[in-house]
Amino acid sequence: MKKNFLFAICICFLIGQLYSESFQEYQAQQAKDLENFQKEQSQNIKNSMEKQLQQFEKNKTKMQQEYDAYRRSMNKQFAEMMKKQWTKRTKNAAVPIPKSKEPPKPFVKKDEKKAPAVKLNFAKIVNTESFDDPEPIAPVARFNAGGDPIMASGTAEGHQNAGGDPIMMKNAGGDPIMASGTAEGYQNAGSNPIIGSGTVEEGYSPYFFVYHGTTCKAHFFNSMRFSLPDVSEASVSEIWKKLSEEDFDPLLSDCFDLKEDLRLGDWGYIDILRVMSEHFLGTGSNEAVLLQMYVLAQSGYKVRVARTGDKLILLVPFRTDLYSYPYFILGDGKKYYILDKDARNQSRPYHVFEESFPRERTASLKMPGTPKLGQERGTDRIFQSRRYQDAMAKVITNKNLIDFYNDYPQSSNWGDYSRASLSEGIKNTLYPALRAQIHGKTKLEAANILLNFVQTAFEYMTDQEQFGYERPLFGDEIFYYPYSDCEDRSILFSILVRELLGLDVVMLHYPQHLATAVNFGDEDVYGSYFDLDGKKYVVSDPTYIGASVGECMPQFRNSGAEIIKL
């Protein structure tokens, strides 16, 4: 009996061992099976994703080919229309810059007594113009010199290529590189030669050119070079047809990037294409004019071309009237301006090609911000508030930017000047100094500090006295030129209030005067004001020297202002 019991125990032990080993083997097998299943699923997902990606790329390539074919077809039709006889047109004389009556001299407040706060009347409200920017007739493939697709960087710096290199040449700090002007090639501020990044596709030439001190590059096929035997309809048509057969996507992609990276706006884009085209095909050449027109048309801009004698002239309409530029009124009723300085005084007959390109849009003088150009030291001055002595900053201007603004057409749309803001160089020195003074202050206290700074840190002189004609200044120009007047100061004050205080501001246009009014939100502010859409905008006059927020120049208290929304 005892032996049987011991035998049973041994059998149970052996069975337990066998079961234990079998269970461990089972667990191991299960784990292995799970691992194999996961690998198989992972591979299936990978294969599926690769297949989807291949199909996506295939579809994308097909769509791009269809876009390209459509664009080539439209260009060939356009070229055929160019063969027809161009219309003889008479040029209209340029509209001179309006001469205004002498604006009032700055009114100095001589006592601390505040005028009664009253609700002011306004004549009308001018809203910000809203419209779509020009776009290509069909999407343009975006890629770098090596053929890699350009991907958005997600930063305010604009688009970058797959390697992270901007098309515009920049230094290690991300600033545009200024050309050295040497014959050895373009160099950065440290005298190091600039070398274009990326592998250049065979047949391309990386073309470097300088735009307002900023070294830029664009890639051309060598076959893009052409020569016009004459400026007849047939010759222009033949070259346009030739250009339509080229792959312009890489060049257009470069041009779009330059516009975005340099923040040029429409005027700057038109101008940089002129510089690029002339650098590639010859200054003032008919070939450069035709190439500039071709790129603008592919970019979605409304443009025309005229012939006078043996010269081609680019014609461009704008949403705003341009002063000092002669123009044609064509069949669509728009004014098409002659931008070429050398061609403005031509007295010979003009023949104009008036046909429109599909989906074209009119250019604007609106600025997307301050252009980002290479640095060249301009003026170096200290600006200080009289009442708030610590509100002081040393400001260095950028001569390249000043030169850009010098060439910019003058406009009476003051909102465009305000929205252009200030350059990063000025913000980096001015804003920290002003922020230190307004820190911890109420909105009203901070606004009064900024107001007195603009009132007293700048010397006053009318445009007629300083320039001999009316000329509003962009923000950076106010720090460059020795004098400023009421519109310049209102432009600067509106920038500071929006960007340092985050408050809404409007401009007040009186006869011969410009001021501002600020909405302080939920902060109750005493002073004369306008009621706009149920909101209170308190008068703040940057030319009423010594006056605080809420005080209106006596001569304008009963004048109905034109309200300009920004």
- The pLDDT averaged over each successive group of 10 residues in the chain (566 residues) is 56 54 70 78 75 62 69 90 95 87 76 84 81 68 53 36 38 46 36 32 71 93 87 96 86 92 96 96 96 95 96 96 95 95 83 94 93 96 96 97 96 89 97 97 98 97 91 97 96 98 96 94 94 95 96 89 92
Q: Are strands 159-160 and 151-152 parallel, antiparallel or unpaired?
A: antiparallel
d(CA 542, CA 414): 15
With H, G, I as helix, E, B as strand and everything else as coil, classify residue 82.
helix
CA distance linking residue 188 with residue 449, whole number of Å: 39
Rounded to the nearest 10°, the torsion over CA 532, 537, 541, 547 is 140
| Interatomic CA distance for residues 522 and 536, integer angstroms | 10
Residue that is written with structure tokens 């300083």 in the block: 466
Radius of gyration for the chain, computed over Cα atoms and rounded to the nearest angstrom: 33
3-class secondary structure per residue, 111-152:
CCCCCCCCECCEEEEECCCCCCCCCCCCCCCCECCCCCECEE
Check: CB of residue 167 under 8 Å from CB of residue 148. no
| Strand (E) or helix (H) holding 510 | strand 504-510
Q: To 10 degrees, what angle do helices 443-456 and 424-438 make?
A: 130
Alpha-carbon gap, residue 231 to 434, rounded angstroms: 57
Phi, psi of 115, deg, nearest 5: -70, 155
- Exposed e or buried b per residue across 356-381, where buried means at least 16 C-beta atoms within 10 angstroms of its C-beta: ebeebbbbbbbbbebbbbbbbebeee
The Cα–Cα gap between 162 and 151 comes to 6
Mean of pLDDT over the chain = 83
d(CA 501, CA 386): 21
Joined tokens for residue 179 = 């050309």
Which pLDDT score is estimated for 170? 47
DSSP helix/strand/coil, 300:
coil
Q: How far apart are CA 507 and CA 425, in angstroms?
A: 26
Which residue's structure tokens are 């407040």?
Answer: 109
Q: Which of 302, 267, 274, 279 is nearest to 290 (CA)?
A: 274
What's the pLDDT score for residue 183? 32
Check residue 8 and give its pLDDT: 56
pLDDT at 20: 54
478 φ, ψ (degrees, to nearest 5): -65, -30
Distance from the Cα of residue 55 to its chain's centroid: 36
Whole-angstrom distance, CA of residue 65 vs CA of residue 269: 27
- Whether the pTM exceeds 0.75: the reply is yes
Structure tokens at 57: 């790329």
Residue-range domains of the chain with CATH: 87-91+130-353 (no CATH), 109-129+373-565 (3.10.620)
> Which pair of tokens denotes residue 546?
């010594």
Q: How far apart are CA 165 and CA 170, in angstroms?
A: 9
